[in-house]
Amino acid sequence: MRNRKSAVTPVFYISLAIAFVFILWGAIFPTNLETNLGYINNFISNELGWVYMLAMTGFVIFAFYLVISPYGKIRLGKQDEKPQYSYFTWFSFLFTAGMGVGLVFYGVNEPLTHFHNPPITEGGTALAQQEALQYTLFHWGFHPWAVYAVVGLALAYFNFRHNAPLLMSSAISPLIGDRSKGWMGTTVDVIAVFGTIFGIATSLGLGATQITAGLSYSFDAIENNLLTQMIVVIIITIAFIASAATGVNKGIRYLSMGNVVIAIALMIFVFIFGSSVLMIDSFMTNTGNYLQNLVSMTFNMNSFVGDRGFLDSWTLFYWAWWIGWAAFVGSFIARVSRGRTIREFIIGVMGVPVLFSAIWFAIFGVAGIESDNILGGGLYSLIETQGNEVALFAFLENYPAAPLIMGIAILLIASFFVTSADSGTFVLSMLTTGGSLNPPLKIKLIWGGILAATAMVLLASGGLNALQMAMLIAAFPFTFIVIMLAISLYKALRSEYGIIKLEKQQLVYEAGYREETQKELEEKREAFEETLPDEQPPEIEAQSKEDN
């Protein structure tokens, strides 16, 4: 197999050119951009929404299968290799990169919105509260983490076990062969780059609007408008570029651990000063309802009953968001998961974050609905008049030491904002430099600027609505790449497991059996090696070990 060099690749120049055209389009013709995004978005939602539903279901089934399959014992690295990071650090990376700012943004807002506008039952009732919490957990449960696990596992397996570049094109090499080195591979990587750009831009937009809302809500002198949002984006961009310059083991690592500590502290505060027993009861009930109704919710397209608008605005948006984010989150999770077994990887990626999300929404969802009931629907009315981004701060205003807690919440959002963008900048740089685990600083700076510009253009052309539409559109082609990654991974695992199984049998059985099967083993190894992607050049491998 031939080596690949650690340098800026055609993916960088193609992606940069397309991103530049998109930014110019939004800056010069913002209304036209919003109109065209809306047209494409409506077509995908109404005609092709089933693709997202089936694909996400497939990812969940595939991930669960790998946990119970014999492939689960295969390690992401050498078979005796130890994990690169401790469990707490690893989970901090998963939590911060995978959901962070979204949990804070939607923690109060989504359950409360579903409570007043549930997909099936009548709003404002006890059944509506149950349905609201159930569907919120559905959107933040196994499905998003399954798609992250599939992408991350495919990349980590080929990179750490077979020394291939951390690229989507390399990971589908067993499926498409040498075409992964040509135009097809370049196209795959460019699509992954754009899924990452719009995924991060959506999160930057959410973070900017919520930080602006928090500052405006806390300080009368600060207005909640587009100019303030732009200033926030610029300030945070400077912060995350500075963090990105320090690398994974410093800036991202310490910010991630700090984020988790602050988030848990905020959650405990709300739990202590809220209806604690009801929250515990809600966690138990909601988790049971979620698991019991998982299959029906997964396949429900509201064909006969229920609100189709709910499906388009919430479920399909989320599935698109998670798939779009999978390029970035999957790459980042792969980068920090060296030394884990496949079973440990999937249980860690899908288990712990889902449990945390269930606890988070049980606390903030129950507390938010309870506050709204006490205020006679006042909290939801405020969301309708001032936007979703004010929900958290209007909610925290009713708690002791409100100014301090709201300040901590703004700090947490900003920190999540910085960490997600930091991780995204790293992944974009990695994807456009041939899979380098230590991309050049100048490339990080360029992508940091592109992310900020994209977020600002989308905010200017249509606010959060434009961000959401762009996300759904960008995620659609990447859905098929994730499917290819899953098939490629399964094909490679099946081949390697056959080799491992035969090697173990040779150790157990007599010498005659070893002689009879040696040729078969060599043929299996040779055929498997032919399907593997190119190896990393020595300089990248050395950098990786040094970074560890």
pLDDT tens track for 187-207: 999 888 887 887 777 777 777
Beta strands in 48-97 (DSSP E): none
- CB contact set of 135 (below 8 Å; sequence gap of 6+): 114, 118, 119, 297, 314, 315
Split at pLDDT 50, 70, 90, the class of 543 is very low
* Cβ proximity of 75 and 161 under 8 Å: yes
pLDDT above 90 (res 360): yes
Residues in contact with 328: Cβ distance below 8 Å, sequence separation at least 6, in sequence order: 97, 195, 196, 199, 200, 423, 424, 427, 428
Q: Is the pLDDT of residue 382 over 50?
A: yes
So what's the pLDDT on residue 279?
94
**pLDDT at 224 (0 to 100):** 80
Spell out the alpha helix ranges (H) of 509-534.
511-531
Indicate the domain borders of the chain. 10-521
**pLDDT category, 141, cuts 50, 70, 90?**
very high
At position 537, the amino acid (one-letter code) is P
Task: Tell me the mean pLDDT in the region 364-375.
Answer: 92
Structure tokens at 535: 């190896």
- Do residues 79 and 343 touch, judged by C-beta distance below 8 A? no
Asked whether the predicted pLDDT for residue 531 surpasses 90, the reply is no
Q: Is 299 exposed, middle or buried (0-12, 13-18, 19+ CB in 10 A)?
A: exposed
Are 180 and 78 in contact by the 8 Å Cβ rule? The answer is no
Contacts of 419 (CB under 8 A, 6+ apart): 96, 97, 100, 240, 243, 252, 255, 256, 259
**CB-based contact 89:253 (threshold 8 Å):** yes
Predicted confidence (pLDDT) per residue in 405-423, tens digit: 988 888 888 887 777 777 7
Query: For residue 381, what are its two tokens?
Result: 């009315």
CA atoms within 13 A on the CB side of 486: 24
Q: Could you please state the CATH topology (level 3) that the domain comprising 10-521 is classified under.
A: Amino acid/polyamine transporter I (1.20.1740)
Distance between CA 543 and CA 157 in Å, rounded? 19
Higher pLDDT, 123 or 471: 123
Closest CA to 498 of 161, 157, 71: 71
Question: Which of 212, 228, 252 lies closest to 332, judged by CA?
Answer: 252
- The pLDDT value recorded for residue 132 is 94
pLDDT in tens, 96-122: 766 667 788 888 999 999 999 988 888
Distance of CA 122 to the CA centre of its chain: 32
Measured CA to CA, the distance from residue 44 to residue 39 in angstroms comes to: 9
Whole-angstrom distance, CA of residue 372 vs CA of residue 109: 11
Residue showing tokens 């807690």:
405
Answer left, alpha or beta for residue 376, where phi above 0 means left and psi between -120 and 50 means alpha: left
Task: Indicate the SS3 state at residue 29.
Answer: coil
Reported as a pLDDT band with limits 50, 70 and 90, residue 250 is low
Task: Specify the amino acid at residue 517.
Answer: T
Phi, psi of 75 (to 5 degrees): -100, 145
Grouping H, G, I as helix, E, B as strand and the rest as coil, residue 341 is: strand
Mean pLDDT calculated for residue range 36-41: 82
